[in-house]
Structure 1
Amino acid sequence: MSERLLVLVRHGQSDWNLKNLFTGWKDPGLTEKGVAEATAAGQRLKALGLSFDIAFTSALTRAQNTCSLILEQLGQTGLQTVRDQALNERDYGDLSGLNKDDARAKWGEEQVHVWRRSYDVSPPGGESLKDTVARVLPYYCQEILPRVLRGERVLVAAHGNSLRALVMVLDRLTPQTIPSMELETGVPLVYRLNADSTVASKQVLTA
């Protein structure tokens, strides 16, 4: 039987994560810590004896670099890698580039919390988590899942919110529970799927 392996990894710490800024579709690079996190993620996958047939990542540098660093550790630098903005981080609109504390001072703690953590309320000019799910899930169903079900081993290096959309489906979470679920930077989630696309097993490869 083929393996039906799907590994999800949130990019390593970015410069704007460090500075506590809303990032969204802006394109800062990884910090030194972010590079170390991505490298360590690759080492943990290698220690499990895993390798991949294809990788998917977003159109943003921090996810692409994370993907490359992981593949470097696995000795798979030439692996086919598909980049698509369908996997981009949630677009924070007018909040993008703002310090989270400054945003709280401007709009109030409660309003910023609603924008960050509610499922279907979008910040001005941006996307809600529901909007992000509506963008990510069709791409997953059309491009990624069929490959996994055919037995290809698939790596997805993306972002906190785009991966939340996938975890929501895989872990059968509700719109009420998904916003509070945190995905750590650089920590691989190793899923093995059944033939009907449900989850057979899940491993979280923390340090």
Structure 2
Amino acid sequence: MGYKKIFLVRHGQTTMNVKGIYQGRVNSDLTSLGIQQTKGVGKYIHSKEIVFKDIYCSTSPRAIDTCKLIIETMGKNAVKTVKYDNRLVEMDFGIFEGQSIELCKTNYPHTYYDLYHHPQDYAPLGDGETVQQVIDRVSHFLSDLKNDEHKDAENVLVVTHGVIIRAIFYCLLHRKIEDFWIDEDIPSSSLTILSKDDNRAYRIDELFITCH
């Protein structure tokens, strides 16, 4: 069982993205470019005449705004229900939250290095999450997604965040935690499509499509 195709969208560009600041659980508004990017995703989906039984979305405001813009652009008839799930919120970066990436790299070099080079050993400063904790909650979400699916639904759309998309890759593509960051940076409002092959295993059909 399982949806034949999973469409993953990272939220649109935000003001903190532009400034190079860790967002995580804090939020910032979509920029005008972020809004334009997101509408491009909706237009692309509409042009392909793709219909979703369900959309699952992070409860973060920037993801919700992205989701609403996509629905408005592709047309309400393209989706039946939208479900908001806090297991899809971005990683909690602890003390890094709200600080510039460059400042964290300078002030906390060992922690910063472990996050991106030894994710299996990363220990957040403050009340943040480990990479494994993020993987665990995403794994629970995917398990529920499989159980809650509609038998007549082939496509599902998930609107979320960069680290969560990497965790989905880890779970569905059976990667090692050491390879958590192996993919290039995930562009804002990019669309990735995973589909099942003949062996009922997921593979990447399209990676980080930008429709803007």
TM-score range normalised by the length of the shorter chain:
0.7 to 0.9
**Residues 123-172 of structure 1: CA deviation (Å, up to 9, x unaligned):** 21211221101111111111x22355734221100001111111122333
Counterpart of 2:188 in structure 1 is 185
| Matched position secondary structure for 2:67 | helix
| Matched position secondary structure for 2:165 | helix
Partner Cα distance (2:178, 2:98) in 1: 27
Task: Give the alignment of 1:85-100 within 5 angstroms.
Answer: 85-100=86-101
CA gap 1:3/1:171 in 2 versus in 1, 3 angstroms = closer
Partner Cα distance (1:95, 1:169) in 2: 25
Counterpart of 2:72 in structure 1 is 72
CA RMSD of aligned residues (A): 2.4
Partner Cα distance (1:67, 1:22) in 2: 21
Offset of residue 37 of structure 1 = 1.4
Question: 1:122, 1:128 within 8 Å by CA — same for their partners in 2?
Answer: yes
Choose from 172, 175, 180 the match for 1:173.
175
Amino acid at match of 2:193: V
Question: 2:91, 2:164 within 8 Å by CA — same for their partners in 1?
Answer: yes
| Matched position secondary structure for 2:195 | strand
| Matched position secondary structure for 1:23 | coil
The total of aligned residue pairs comes to 204
Of 37-46 and 117-126, the range deviating more from structure 2 = 117-126
2:14 is the counterpart of 1:11: no
After TM superposition, the score normalised by the length of structure 2 is 0.86
| Matched position secondary structure for 1:176 | helix
CA gap 1:174/1:3 in 2 versus in 1, 3 angstroms = closer
Partner Cα distance (2:123, 2:68) in 1: 32
Counterpart of 2:54 in structure 1 is 54
After TM superposition, the score normalised by the length of structure 1 is 0.87
Task: Give the alignment of 1:1-207 within 5 angstroms.
Answer: 4-76=4-76, 79-108=80-109, 110-120=110-120, 121-124=122-125, 125-142=127-144, 144-148=145-149, 150-152=151-153, 153-181=155-183, 182-193=185-196, 197-199=200-202, 202-204=205-207, 205-207=209-211
Partner Cα distance (2:134, 2:66) in 1: 21
Partner Cα distance (2:90, 2:26) in 1: 9
Partner Cα distance (1:107, 1:200) in 2: 36
Listed as ranges, the gaps of 5+ residues in structure 1 are none
Listed as ranges, the gaps of 5+ residues in structure 2 are none
CA gap 1:117/1:73 in 2 versus in 1, 3 angstroms = farther
CA gap 1:6/1:16 in 2 versus in 1, 3 angstroms = same
Identity of aligned residues (%): 21
CA gap 1:200/1:151 in 2 versus in 1, 3 angstroms = farther
CA gap 1:156/1:49 in 2 versus in 1, 3 angstroms = same
Partner Cα distance (2:3, 2:129) in 1: 35
